[in-house]
Chain A
Amino acid sequence: MDLVFRALADGSRRELLDRLRAENGQTLGELCQRLDMTRQAVSKHLAILEEANLVATIKRGREKLHYLNPVPIHEIGERWIGKFERSRLQALSDMKKALETGES
């Protein structure tokens, strides 16, 4: 679990996870296109995310595709969030989202 928190403690790495959440299964090249980071830096961050199991990769031909793997984050939630708290937290989170975006 230390690896997961360490990996998430960096803004660039969280941005990479956001990119994969928006479009899962991207190659290194695709991820680099829309980022203000060198290919080398992106590659290093992806290795740290992969080691923490937050990014899963599969090979498709010569390409390596990167996927956001939410399983470790789900396990963190499960460890500290009881199953009965979940619906109340969901209600709070929906309210926060609605208030902050001005939607109801």
Chain B
Amino acid sequence: MAKPRFVYVTYIRTTPEKLWAALTDPQTIRKYWFGMTADCDWKVGSAWRLKFEDGRVADSGEILESDPPRRLVIRWRNEFKPELKAEGYSRCTMEIEMADYYPDFGGKAVKLTIHHEIEDEGGAKFIEAVSGGWPKVLSNLKSLLESGNVAFETKV
């Protein structure tokens, strides 16, 4: 397996079950993913698609691993930008674990780690595109779970 191109970590004051639900419920995803949502039953081997509000498919792939509420691995590629689609499939791993300490809070929190890697060599444009998006999506997800509100309604 290729070395992950980036790893993002965020600590969220919530429970693993609530975080798993937020990562897999289409209505919740829409709230923090700038109106986009995923269409999937989250079972191993099932098709996964991320769709725009108007129904166009942004990304598509399949579920490689699904172990609620701990681990989710999705293999996907971009579908709407030819130059990104050409770079092929990526593998996104999401891991949820309880952390005994929360740097900003001092109490228990849930640690969400996201690794993203490209299957083939190259993939520079793809990685640039997704690495710009993840921090915003994760900030929104954290705000939503901790306060019920998102920081950004639309992409800035």
Contacts and interface: CB of A to CB of B under 8 A. Distances in A.
B135 A70 contact: yes
Contacts, number: 59
A24 B7 CA distance: 9
A60 B5 CA distance: 13
A22 B104 CA distance: 27
Contacts of B151: 78
B9 interface: yes
A53 B139 contact: no
Interface in A29-71: 51-53, 56-58, 60, 65, 67-71
A88 B123 CA distance: 30
A70 B136 CA distance: 10
Max chain B CB contacts within 10 Å: which of A60, A75, A86? A75
A56 B7 contact: yes
Interface residues of B, number: 21
A24 B6 contact: yes
A67 B6 contact: yes
A3 interface: yes
A71 B135 contact: yes
B5 A24 contact: yes
Contacts of B28: none
Nearest to A1: B104
Nearest to B113: A56
Contacts of B80: none
Interface of A: 1-4, 24-25, 51-53, 56-58, 60, 65, 67-71, 74-75, 78, 83, 86-87
19 contacts: A1-B104, A24-B5, A24-B6, A24-B7, A53-B103, A56-B9, A58-B7, A58-B113, A65-B4, A67-B7, A68-B6, A70-B135, A71-B138, A74-B136, A74-B138, A75-B139, A78-B139, A83-B156, A87-B156
